[in-house]
Structure 1
Amino acid sequence: MNDTDKIRIGILTSGGDAPGMNNVINGVYKTLRSMSFENSKAGTGSTDKRKFELVLIKNGYKGLYESEFQTINAQWIQLIDLGTQMGGTIIGSARFKEFENEATRKKCIDILRKENIKGLIAIGGDGTTTGLQKISVESGMQCIGIPGTIDNDVNSSEFTVGFDTALNTIVENLDKIRQTADSHSRIMIVETMGRECGDLALHAAAAANCDLVATKDLNILEPALIELIKQMYTKKQRRSMVVVVTENLYDVKKVAKMIEAETKCETRSVVLGQIQRGGTASAFDRYLATMMGVFAAERFANSNKSSICVGLQGNRLVAIEIQDALNTPKTPEKNSALAAKVLRLSGIITKKNI
């Protein structure tokens, strides 16, 4: 088999970056390389002589549209190795709203065919997966989605690549915020990322022994939140309070001023922001990302050509048809139950924890 006969697989990272994306790339590349070597050394009785080549697509779907393809040379082999110790994504990412247009996708499909790409792997969240599903349907190409987002908002997977690292970053910062809050007897309102998903806030509040948490699942309106904090601060005579809220719920600066007016306690707001995205991936994220990469690469070696998403369910990796993955319903009752348990740690009784 000549180099021109290699089965070329494209890989891209799209949307917000997440620690562990580089580990996925490493897992895919090294597995495809090993499979190619094993096939070339197989005995004369073996019919599988296929060789695979991974092609890097820079800057997500935007880079695909602009034909930013990178073959893996000696320099990139070294970078793929080093990337496993780095956060972010070595091949870059972008948000590309134009990909929603059919004409834009048609051009991307034409480019993939021109580059002789036979399969596509996309690492990202629901938006990335939605785009991948359309590419799969409109081109007939085998596509594999890998959930990579710190928000943990891909319903078909219990955990996404990057979530654990972001969670550790938040907990580390909450510990520091608690220390300064104790020193000055302050109330601190801390906003985490998560978009519509409260997993980061809920898990962090429990892990960092915070006093209160508010997410979309709890539906605590602003006046109720302020009243809760006032009651907890007054009745329990806390030296400090740390309250964690998910982004887009409140104007935390305004809420902090209102709480200070009600409690007469110095109150500050902290928006953790982009710091939650960066950093070297945790051991859990490295392992999960690598195994998802291996899973995706091996999928191209079997006879099943269907397009799938990789998910973690019941502590094992599973293949889920892309459309089924996108249609997996949210389970707000699961987060509501967790939220009730976290609130009970603060002495707050709800119907769910009575």
Structure 2
Amino acid sequence: MHLHSADLFGAYSPQQIHRQSYRPHVPAAYKHQAVECFEEVCDEIEQEDPEQLAKALPQLFGTKYCEVRQAVNAAAFRRRPLRVGVVLSGGPAPGGHNVIAGLFDFLRKVHPESKLFGFMGGMDGFFNMKYKTITPEHMARFRNSGGFDMLWSGRGRVNGRKDMDKAVEVAKSLEMTGLVVVGGDGSCSNAALLANHMAEFLPSCSVVGVPKTIDGDLKNAVIESSFGFDTASKTYSELIGNLCVDVGSSKHTYHFVRVMGRSASHLVLECALQTRPNLCLVGEEIERNNTSLKEIVQEIVELIAERKKKGVNFGVLLVPEGLIEFIPEIKKLIAECNEIVKKDGAFDKEKLSDEGRGTWDFLPEVIQDQLLMEREATGYIQVAKVATERLLILLVKNQLYAEGIDQETHPEVSFMPHYFGYEGRCAMPSNFDANYCFSLGLTAGALIQNKRNGYMSLVRNLSLPTADWSAAGIPIVQLMKMYGKKGEEYPGVTKQLVDLDGPLFQVFKQARALWKYGDMYRNPGPIQFDGPVADGASYTVCIPVLEELISYDKCEESRSCFRKSQEVLSPLQLSRLRFKPEV
């Protein structure tokens, strides 16, 4: 039986059709007839800037963390139709449709006449009242699918009192009892602003946030993972794992891979743990150690030279998308460039400081052009547009040439740049993300039913079996702090960078020293939806021990062969070894 579409004009592949029938696993609480919110003490998050936030968001400050559990008296629990809106905000992430599906199913379970309004194109669609009423038939086509194409996404935001008043007007006209904002730190900050305004002018409508970002920078003590991170990291790890096999096959290429994640290095760290490259740069560590660009280049050159002495002319190196913003002299240069552009409207390198000019001159011309070509709407430099992997290759080549190693005299050494970003944003969600997102949607519905305004939907204990996951809600204000310079402060959800003192980074530090020359590459393979390895979570959720990340296998043929010991193979590779082809 072939798995190609029987109809070349069909909208869905056989795999998409198969996934529509998947029924996500959920926390045990949602198997009961009704759920209720119970306030509990939560001392895992320390409130930042309490006095300022109490003034900025007075209607939300002081609300309590709650857990969602079986209702004490389900028979007496009042069931009334709920009318809820949902907004997909910011860049897409795998699992967004399952958040909507979980919310939809919860509302229908509460009362068959409940309504779910999907606002088209993000927050702007909400303000302009562009929506569709989601039906069971419509929802069925998008269950367990990737992307945000059900409602589209948008990057609109709350811009002052006028927008907040408009939100109240829209909610009143649709008689809404709740609004769910699916998004990252900026979107959930907008949700808090709307919730604070609704509490005063339309208390019958509760606003709830759902933590979304493949970058993983919402992770904290209570948000164990933002949704989409699991799928994106596995998607990138498959591609990186393929490159790991490639270097063991051709033995003459260094692959420099930039992985999406502008403000934090969570994704590149997870990919490194999954694939075990020879080198993985972590932006937060670069910043802490005040490592210069020249020092980074020198480390890579020394790695290549040392491997060359061992007769090895290949390798895999990972860099985070936001690396350049963590390098001290580059940060200063960008700040100077932005200040010049802000003041004069155009860039003039003659106005750079001596230090800034030195850094500018050190950069290859093609990178200088990238810094100047495209600007953000504010006019500032779009740092994410800088091809950091190409920058490093150019600088490494220059340094190798200075040391007498170049492609003409040493043709066995070559370099290949890669950037993995958009490939992971709309991937079909893994079983973990399908289950997690559906549960987040259920929890958002439960918080609205229980009139918990200004809360973030949480699902916790993610390292345990799904039935043992727990549902909860935390006031968004507890996750916020004040940003901006004095006199221009504003509240925002805190972005979480990689914890360099945490257990995940510490075990990575131990393993990477062995990966550098040990070539312990691992190929995790594609995401599985069925079979023995389908339900595994990321290392970010299930923190590994050192023994899971290394191999003591000795290669018999030569130092540069590709390892195939049991220790180095991924769970999927081990499973595939047992497959017997039909002949």
Q: Judge same fold: TM > 0.5, yes or no.
A: yes
Letter in 1 for 2:122: G
| Pairing partner for 2:233 from 142, 153, 167 | 167
> CA offset at residue 71 of structure 1?
1.2
1:243 aligns with 2:302: no
Q: Secondary structure at the match of 1:100?
A: coil
**Pairs within 5 Å for 1:343-354:** 343-347=509-513
Distance 1:68 1:34, change over 3 A: same
> CA offset at residue 181 of structure 1?
3.5
Q: Residues of 2 paired with 1:12 and 1:332: CA distance?
A: 26
Distance 1:317 1:199, change over 3 A: farther
Q: What TM-score results when the alignment is normalised by the length of structure 1? A: 0.85
Q: Residues of 2 paired with 1:65 and 1:332: CA distance?
A: 32
Q: Residues of 2 paired with 1:56 and 1:78: CA distance?
A: 14
Q: How large is the RMSD of aligned CA atoms in angstroms?
A: 2.4
> CA offset at residue 92 of structure 1?
1.0
Q: Residues of 2 paired with 1:181 and 1:25: CA distance?
A: 42
| Pairing partner for 1:176 from 230, 242, 246 | 242
For residues 218-270 of structure 1, what are the alpha-carbon distances to aligned partners after superposition, in whole Å with 9 as ceiling and x for unaligned?
11432222222222222243442211111132432121122233343322221
Letter in 1 for 2:268: A
For residues 64-90 of structure 1, what are the alpha-carbon distances to aligned partners after superposition, in whole Å with 9 as ceiling and x for unaligned?
1221121124xxx22312212321121
Letter in 2 for 1:290: F
More strand by share: 1
Of structures 1 and 2, the larger Rg is shown by 2
Match of 1:271 in 2: 419
Distance 1:339 1:260, change over 3 A: farther
Answer yes or no: is the 8 Å Cα contact 1:124–1:149 preserved in 2: yes
Match of 1:84 in 2: 143
1:55 aligns with 2:117: yes
Q: Secondary structure at the match of 2:480?
A: helix
Match of 1:299 in 2: 447
> CA offset at residue 215 of structure 1?
2.3
For residues 181-237 of structure 1, what are the alpha-carbon distances to aligned partners after superposition, in whole Å with 9 as ceiling and x for unaligned?
441511121111112111100010111111111122111432222222222222243
Unaligned runs of 5+ in 2: 1-79, 200-204, 325-387, 401-405, 407-412, 463-469, 482-492, 516-545, 547-583
Match of 2:126 in 1: 64
Distance 1:87 1:335, change over 3 A: farther
Distance 1:344 1:221, change over 3 A: farther
Unaligned runs of 5+ in 1: 38-50
Match of 1:334 in 2: 499
Match of 1:134 in 2: 193
> CA offset at residue 301 of structure 1?
2.6
| Pairing partner for 2:110 from 28, 35, 38 | 35
Q: What TM-score results when the alignment is normalised by the length of structure 2? A: 0.53
Match of 1:223 in 2: 294
Q: Secondary structure at the match of 1:223?
A: helix
1:94 aligns with 2:94: no
**Pairs within 5 Å for 1:147-162:** 147-156=211-220, 157-162=223-228
Q: Residues of 2 paired with 1:23 and 1:154: CA distance?
A: 19
The count of aligned residue pairs is 328
Answer yes or no: is the 8 Å Cα contact 1:259–1:267 preserved in 2: no
Q: Residues of 2 paired with 1:114 and 1:245: CA distance?
A: 49
Distance 1:343 1:255, change over 3 A: same
Q: Residues of 1 paired with 2:422 and 2:81: CA distance?
A: 40
> CA offset at residue 340 of structure 1?
4.6
Q: Residues of 1 paired with 2:427 and 2:301: CA distance?
A: 36
Q: Residues of 2 paired with 1:174 and 1:283: CA distance?
A: 21
Q: Secondary structure at the match of 2:394?
A: helix
| Pairing partner for 1:145 from 209, 222, 245 | 209
For residues 133-167 of structure 1, what are the alpha-carbon distances to aligned partners after superposition, in whole Å with 9 as ceiling and x for unaligned?
11111122311111121111114411011000000
1:109 aligns with 2:168: yes
Letter in 1 for 2:253: R
Distance 1:333 1:204, change over 3 A: closer
Match of 2:521 in 1: none
1:252 aligns with 2:393: no
- Greater shift, 192-201 or 224-233, is seen at 224-233
Distance 1:174 1:333, change over 3 A: closer
> CA offset at residue 343 of structure 1?
3.9
Match of 2:562 in 1: none
Identity level (%): 21
Distance 1:214 1:317, change over 3 A: farther
Q: Residues of 1 paired with 2:498 and 2:255: CA distance?
A: 28
Distance 1:271 1:331, change over 3 A: closer
> CA offset at residue 329 of structure 1?
5.7
Q: Secondary structure at the match of 2:83?
A: strand
For residues 26-67 of structure 1, what are the alpha-carbon distances to aligned partners after superposition, in whole Å with 9 as ceiling and x for unaligned?
011011101115xxxxxxxxxxxxx53211111110111221
- Greater shift, 340-349 or 205-214, is seen at 340-349
- Greater shift, 288-297 or 317-326, is seen at 317-326
Q: Residues of 2 paired with 1:79 and 1:202: CA distance?
A: 38
- Greater shift, 266-275 or 87-96, is seen at 266-275
> CA offset at residue 345 of structure 1?
2.3
Q: Residues of 1 paired with 2:398 and 2:507: CA distance?
A: 29
Match of 1:187 in 2: 254
Q: Residues of 2 paired with 1:301 and 1:329: CA distance?
A: 27
Match of 1:40 in 2: none
Distance 1:9 1:331, change over 3 A: closer
Answer yes or no: is the 8 Å Cα contact 1:100–1:131 preserved in 2: no
More helix by share: 1
> CA offset at residue 273 of structure 1?
2.5
Distance 1:23 1:335, change over 3 A: farther
Answer yes or no: is the 8 Å Cα contact 2:443–2:458 preserved in 1: no
- Greater shift, 322-331 or 281-290, is seen at 322-331
